A = this chain, B = another copy of it.
Amino acid sequence: MSEVAGRMSIQVGAHYLEKEPGGTGVLLSGVPGLLAGRVCVGGAAGGAAARLAMGIEAIVTVLDRSLPRLDELDCRYRAQLNTVYSTVDAVERHVADADLVIGSVLVSGAAAPKVVAEEMIKSMRPGSVVVDTAIDQGGCFETSRPTSHDDPFYTKHAVVHYCVTNMPGAVAQTSTFALNNATMPYTLKLAGLGWKKAFLSDPGFLEGLNVHERKATYEAIAEAVGMDYTPREEVL
Q: How far is the CA of A15 from the CA of B25 in the complex (A)?
A: 16
Q: B11, B31, B57: which contacts A79 (Cβ < 8 A)?
A: B57
Confirm or deny: A80 has a beta carbon within 8 angstroms of a beta carbon on chain B. yes
- Given A55-B78, A76-B75, check contact A32 B171 (CB 8 Å): no
Confirm or deny: A4 has a beta carbon within 8 angstroms of a beta carbon on chain B. yes
Total copies of the chain: 6
- Assess the B19–A71 pair: CB atoms within 8 A: no
A116 to chain B, nearest CB (A): 19
A84 to chain B, nearest CB (A): 6
- Given A31-B3, A75-B47, check contact A25 B174 (CB 8 Å): yes
- Assess the B57–A28 pair: CB atoms within 8 A: no
Q: B73, B149, B184: which contacts A32 (Cβ < 8 A)?
A: B73
- Given A71-B32, A80-B78, check contact A171 B25 (CB 8 Å): yes
Q: How far is the CA of A52 from the CA of B56 in the complex (A)?
A: 5
Q: B36, B47, B56, B178: which contacts A82 (Cβ < 8 A)?
A: B36
Confirm or deny: A169 has a beta carbon within 8 angstroms of a beta carbon on chain B. yes
Confirm or deny: A41 has a beta carbon within 8 angstroms of a beta carbon on chain B. no
Confirm or deny: A155 has a beta carbon within 8 angstroms of a beta carbon on chain B. no
List the B side residues contacting A25 at CB < 8 Å. Answer: 170-175
Tell me the chain A residues, 4-36 only, with Cβ under 8 Å from chain B.
Answer: 4, 7-8, 10-12, 14-15, 17-20, 24-36
List the B side residues contacting A79 at CB < 8 Å. Answer: 54-55, 57-60, 79-81
Q: Which 9 A-B pairs have the closest CB atoms?
A: A55-B55, A33-B85, A85-B181, A27-B174, A27-B171, A25-B172, A25-B173, A11-B14, A32-B71
Task: Identify the A interface with B (CB < 8 A).
Answer: 3-4, 7-8, 10-12, 14-15, 17-20, 24-36, 47-48, 51-52, 54-60, 64-65, 67, 70-71, 73-76, 78-85, 87, 149, 152, 169-175, 177-178, 181-182, 184-185
Q: A47-B75, A51-B78, A55-B57 are in contact. List 14 more A-B contacts (CB 8 A).
A: A11-B15, A11-B56, A19-B171, A25-B173, A26-B171, A27-B175, A29-B52, A31-B74, A32-B70, A34-B174, A51-B75, A56-B56, A59-B82, A87-B184
